[in-house]
Structure 1
Amino acid sequence: MKTAIRIAVGGIIVIGVLAYMNRPISREAVNEKIQQHLVKVVESSDSLSSALLTIYSNKTGYHEQFAVGTVNQTSDQPVQADSPYHSASVGKTMCAAIFGLLVDEGKISFDDSISAWLDADMLRGLFEIDGTDYSNLVTLRQLLSHTSGIADYFEGPVKSGEPMLELISSNPDLAFTPESLVAFTRDHQEPVGRPGQQFHYSDTGYILLGLILEAIEGKPYSDILQERIFEPLGMMDSYLMFYRDEPADIIGIYVNGVDLSSRDALSVDWAGGGVVTTMADLLMFMQALENGKLLSDETYSQMTDFQYRYDKGIYYGMGMMMFDLSELSFLLRFSGLTAMYGAVGATGTYVLYDKDNDTYFAANFGSLDFAEKAIEELVTIRMIYDRMTIE
């Protein structure tokens, strides 16, 4: 699940930079200011019920979690730091990591053709331009890096029918299978270009990747996630939504004002981001990537080769995003804020790593309206945190 992230750098950045230049403050003051800021964010937004944040730093020893608001907009139950939530496109990073594991095991190459696992019927029409079918040229690397040319069922334009976002907002009890999501692109959309010719974010591409993993491993994608990621890393509170016996119990997730947390339309995400998780689990996942517990250095370096420009100051590798904050505004060039990279979801959810300062940031806002705002708020939070005196 994705939406365009174009960071609006206006008054919030100006105020933030000025605050950043103020005198250093204590750890206790940092905690208070971050808490107050998150309360203000939730209270001032009609599209939020809660905000969750974790900051974990090996450099400063800072490890704090924040939980503000309620589990949904109709409840008085306070949200908790360990509340499970739908993590949207954060799941793409997990999907990409599994492909990295298979590369390390010698079972596949990133440059293998996807036609080795997907038959002609599945690929029909997805890569056809002016009567020429380019599906035999599409590689795993291109799907993972969004350069295959395939359309995006979640936010891409349609040539007939309703766009997907309108469809699920007006019909929140619609249920989707991976095959029906691919069929949506085949029946209602057109490719954006030939393989390898452009970067175009595509959830459809990641559905194909999930189907490929099932073909390689010979088991459901939910089991693959469990066996390859969740169990080895001890991510006991993570699972693929809709693929276990009991219903999911997650905090509110809002798309165009509709809470989909208990609705079938949330099946619109699968291998592209259908994972339910917690901040603690995501921290374990990102640390495992960085500490070499999951992937070889060579494979991880390919995932974090951020050569594709997503937007101003935002770059993409394979299943991962990098934010060069110095590019987002003129003022931020002088702020000292370092780049961050990791997993990002359209509902204001992320787990990002600041390598220069060996610090992790995980958060969830749970609203499609916060695809951009979540990163804006992260800039503000970074500016507060970076003022902390190290004792």
Structure 2
Amino acid sequence: MGTILDQSLLDKWMTQITKKKNIFRAVMCIENQEQSLSLVSSGGEMEAEDRFFVASVTKLFVTTVLLNLRAEQRIDLGDPISKYLPQETIAGLHTMDNRDYTKEITVKQLMSNTSGIPDYFSQVVFADLAAGNDQAWDLDKILNAARQQKPPFKPGQRRKAQYSDTNYRLLGHIIENIKGESLQTVFKEYIFDRLNLKQTYFYQNPEDKSPVSFYYKQKRMELPLYMASIGAEGGIVSTAKELMIFLRSFFNGNLFPLSELEEIQKQWNFLWAPGPFFYGTGISRQPLSPFGLGRGLIGHWGQCGAFAFHHPESGLYFTGTVNQVLGQSSAATTMARVIRLYSREKKALRLQADTP
């Protein structure tokens, strides 16, 4: 389609983003369903091809692998996690009123953040990392931290959900136990190699300086030990273009049947933090206005400002990062701006085509 939404306009908007307070580098890739629109632009201290931490966008990759394992009949999402994790690993993770509910928690409840297992990534942990105290958080350490907190609700309680990175660290351990291989090896098999992603990988080597740094307010965050330890919680590195390849494949049935996509969106629970947004089964929904809570962007945010979203109504896809822990609103505002312009143009073209 002939469009006002072109490279020069996206370049202009990316420059505007990086002039906002505390946004020092950003990149955005935009495509439509037909791929007649395919743009990528960066701003500030960032090039379009730069690698960056996708953070919690990693959770979409975890969902992809789990759905593949289910298709192979190697896992059932309704199974208790005790089927795949040893008792000594999970004992006491969810204790309320002197009762341990951990054995009742299912794989699906981990994926949907309805397990009630506390999030180890508390304000205290965040403040410590933000202060520059870089340290690795292995599985034992995060589970011990989770055990020190009070669960917010019983597992699977109706309309109860709380975002918990602990859930996804457990899912990563489940995947490794089922496959008998490292997460990097498993993800290469099911996603990276299948999609021919050459710049996408799990960050495991603290000496790897290739991903660009992200920021918290004006502070440049250097956390190689932490980022190399978090795995399925948020350890993937990628580029805007390769993340787009993954995102399109996720929504177009190239990685798992489209019927699975419908299933993981059947039940949405509202989360206030780190949102506000809605969470399904291994996928999130970000409304773009208070008047469209049942619509919006489908995909996932990353804590450091990364994003991978599809907008079903317009058919647009968005990937990239603003590389700022508090920068999601800047990215969301730009995505909404693109959607409005693109939708107006499509409507104008339809009216033009219908006019004799």
TM band (smaller chain)? 0.7 to 0.9
Residue 39 (structure 2) pairs with residue 67 (structure 1): no
Distance 2:66 2:35 in 1: 34
Q: Confirm or deny: 8 A CA contact 1:302 1:317 kept in the other structure.
A: no
Alignment partner for residue 21 of structure 2, among 17, 32, 45?
45
Residues 213 and 119 of structure 1: is their aligned pair in 2 closer, same or farther, counting only changes over 3 Å? same
Residue 216 (structure 2) pairs with residue 255 (structure 1): yes
Paired residue for 2:127? 166
Paired residue for 2:301? 344
In the TM superposition, 1:255-294 aligns within 5 A as 255=216, 257-261=218-222, 263-267=224-228, 269-294=230-255
Tell me the amino acid that sits aligned with residue 213 of structure 1: I
Tell me the amino acid that sits aligned with residue 99 of structure 1: L
Paired residue for 1:237? 199
Alignment partner for residue 211 of structure 1, among 173, 196, 211?
173
Residues 26 and 35 of structure 1: is their aligned pair in 2 closer, same or farther, counting only changes over 3 Å? farther
Paired residue for 1:35? 11
Residues 371 and 357 of structure 1: is their aligned pair in 2 closer, same or farther, counting only changes over 3 Å? closer
What's the offset of the Cα at 1:172? 3.4
Deviations 1:202-222 (A, max 9, x none): 000100111111111111112
In the TM superposition, 1:297-308 aligns within 5 A as 297-308=258-269
Residue 336 (structure 2) pairs with residue 379 (structure 1): yes
Q: Confirm or deny: 8 A CA contact 2:239 2:320 kept in the other structure.
A: no
Residue 177 (structure 2) pairs with residue 201 (structure 1): no
In the TM superposition, 1:83-232 aligns within 5 A as 83-155=50-122, 163-187=124-148, 189-197=149-157, 198-232=160-194
Residues 29 and 209 of structure 1: is their aligned pair in 2 closer, same or farther, counting only changes over 3 Å? closer
Distance 2:78 2:156 in 1: 12
Distance 1:341 1:149 in 2: 23
Name which structure has the greater RCO, CA cutoff 8 Å, separation 6+. 1
Residues 39 and 306 of structure 1: is their aligned pair in 2 closer, same or farther, counting only changes over 3 Å? farther
Where has structure 1 moved over 6 Å in runs of 4 or more? none
Tell me the amino acid that sits aligned with residue 62 of structure 1: L
Q: Could you list the runs of 5+ residues in structure 2 that have no partner in the other structure?
A: none
Q: Could you list the runs of 5+ residues in structure 1 that have no partner in the other structure?
A: 1-24, 71-78, 158-162
Distance 1:315 1:307 in 2: 6
Alignment partner for residue 33 of structure 2, among 30, 53, 58?
58
Q: Confirm or deny: 8 A CA contact 1:149 1:191 kept in the other structure.
A: yes
Distance 1:115 1:341 in 2: 31
